[in-house]
A and B are shown apart, each in its own frame.
Chain A
Amino acid sequence: MISGIFHTTYEQDMALRTSHAQKVRLVILVLFLLAFPFFANRYALTLANQIGIAVIGAIGLNILVGYTGQISLGQGGFMAIGAYTAGILTARMGVPWWASTLIACFATAGIGAIFGIPSLRLKGLYLAIATLAAQEIILWVVTHWKVVTGGVDALVVPNPELFGLRMNTDFNFYWLVWALVIVVTLATVNLFRTHYGRAFTAIRDQDIAASVMGVDLFKYKLLAFAISSFLVGLAGALTAHYRSIVTWERFTIDVSVLYLAMIIIGGLGRVTGSYLGAIFMTLLPVVLSNLGRALKGVFPIVEALIPFIQQAAFGLVIILFLVFEPEGLNKIWKNIKDYFRLWPFSY
């Protein structure tokens, strides 16, 4: 609650953005997103597109892990289902890319719900192991069901086209992915102001009390898995169409851990946290390798060590966040806003 703002209607009270500063920030952000592709070079656009896909995937995972409290290590597997469903439908059956994307979302949601069934009995670490099994089973099927997936060979997906425009150029894809990011963000924010979202959060905080309040634990846990997997499937399908190539290496357990790191570093149970985490984890390797290149002249050995430094830096960053700011980048962002709201009288 921001002091100095007084609501006179319940509509105002329920609004997402109440202060002037919040609205101004939103407008600036939207203007930035609209202007960005006209100024950015191709490399920056590629990064922006990667971030967009990562944001969708991170929001999906955050719905399950951050909001509903069901730990999942199956992110990579669910992305693989999205990517392979979309890829196979478009490449082998000629389904239009947008239709295959939609089908992939629903397919992933269904399979996600099936792998969510153990969550009724298992919590915490035990559920993490069950979802780890999902990850491994899915990737095993992908690499061994050669007739359908092509096994370990890459699956080539035709370029997506819309009204004669090729959608997977960096410039065109930017509009597609960020439009979807905005839709997904709005839907998620809305979901968590209604009784569905509150039921998810209630399950996370105190599942027995939630059931006594009338929340059907089985239904809502499966629903959380389904909604989360829907978005993760979307991220997977977008990867397939953007890259025009689907390989299983892109969906290993590393991806699951990377996405978990994103939402932990960004902030669990916060949509903003998914954004910040996705941006941070996509840019961190870029920054590190640029740094390595810059230092090459001074310390020639650094360049050879870059891959190792990256791995170590990932681990280090996660540990530092857990120790110093468990609520993640989102909390740091909030602290900055709070500081400037009271500035210069912040005592």
Chain B
Amino acid sequence: MPSEFVSTLNSSTLPPGEIQLQVENLQLNFGGVAALSNISLNIYQSEILAIIGPNGAGKTSLLNCISGLYHPQRGKITYFNGAAHETTHLQPHQIAKLGIARSFQNIELFKHMTVLDNLLSGCHIHMKSSLLASLIYWGAAQREHLQYRRFVEDIIDLLEIEAIRYQTVGSLSYGLQKRVELGRALAMKPALLLLDEPMAGMNSEEKEDMARFILDINEEHGVTTVLIEHDMGVVMDISDRIAVLNFGQKIGEGTPDEVGRQPAVIQAYLGEEQGSFPFIKTTSE
């Protein structure tokens, strides 16, 4: 059995630090509402970039533009992996094939399938068996199935979900479902992983677990990770860089410390009154 991708959850070919995704002057309107106005942002290979901002700031809209669920009116998104791909107007499944995976804010798992089938469905883009071979199954399709069955076992191992492998996803607790959703995105062997509030609604223990998994994926496998998160403690701790959105505009960008000192960011979070930024306080606790 070729073991080329065992433990390689990452399909990126870029060296760390290179620009992997370039967002230029993105404009997204819903009728008269500008969900995103003139957003420019670079995402670099192997970093953890956190996108923060108040509710309705446009964080999820930005992620939806990158994964092709929304198509912006103006602007350009370029994705680099071997070659430059303009993804602005591609369909979600075409963008997925390029190696961009994501999870959702409200869990969007295939809830009647088992955990195992959910993970295998993440391998969809890599499975090549023809329809005829699939109908016959014994032979080529079975070999491919076996190969990916082994592969997802690595993800099960990484995310520590061995005990719930055969359970139907709908019957699992919220925290475990979030974990399975991360696993499904990982099964795509992503070059770029977009996580929309991976820790929302979790208790602190579950948050710690999730933070550990995200760090493992980033540090051991080098997967570039973009996450939207409201828990400032987590954001300050695990991210390399932070981008701050407010009312569809980018109002700050930089390392956690830099962002915490930017006046525009403080104003967005605390209002007019000047005060110490809550991020710093949380991390020092």
Contacts and interface: CB of A to CB of B under 8 A. Distances in A.
A8 B43 CA distance: 43
A134 B93 CA distance: 29
Interface residues of B, number: 43
Interface residues of A, number: 32
Given A193-B145, A209-B110, A215-B124, 17 more contacts: A10-B153, A14-B142, A195-B121, A195-B127, A196-B131, A196-B134, A198-B124, A201-B121, A202-B121, A202-B124, A206-B110, A211-B91, A211-B93, A212-B67, A213-B122, A215-B93, A223-B131
A11 B129 contact: no
A264 interface: no
A199 B121 contact: yes
A241 to B, nearest CB: 23
Contacts of A195: 120-121, 123-124, 127, 129, 134
B166 A1 contact: yes
Given A10-B150, A212-B69, A206 B109 contact: yes
Interface string A210-245: 111111110000010000000000000000000000
A269 interface: yes
Given A190-B134, A195-B129, A10 B112 contact: no
A193 B138 CA distance: 11
A311 interface: no
B184 interface: yes
Interface string B183-204: 0100010000000000000000
B74 interface: no
Given A14-B146, A193-B145, A213-B122, A198 B129 contact: no
A249 interface: no
Which 5 A-B pairs give the minimum distances between C-beta atoms? A190-B137, A214-B96, A214-B125, A205-B110, A209-B108
Interface in B185-238: 188
B136 interface: yes
Contacts of A193: 137, 145
B136 A190 contact: yes
B85 interface: no
B111 A205 contact: yes
**Per DSSP, are chain A's interface residues mostly helix, strand or loop, or mixed?**
helix
B135 A190 contact: yes
A211 B69 CA distance: 9
A205 B69 CA distance: 18
Interface string B99-111: 0011010001111
Contacts of B75: none
Contact of B117 (A198, A210, A217): A198
A236 B166 CA distance: 38
Interface in B143-177: 144-146, 149-150, 153, 166
Given A212-B67, A214-B97, A206 B146 contact: no
B149 A13 contact: yes
A332 interface: no
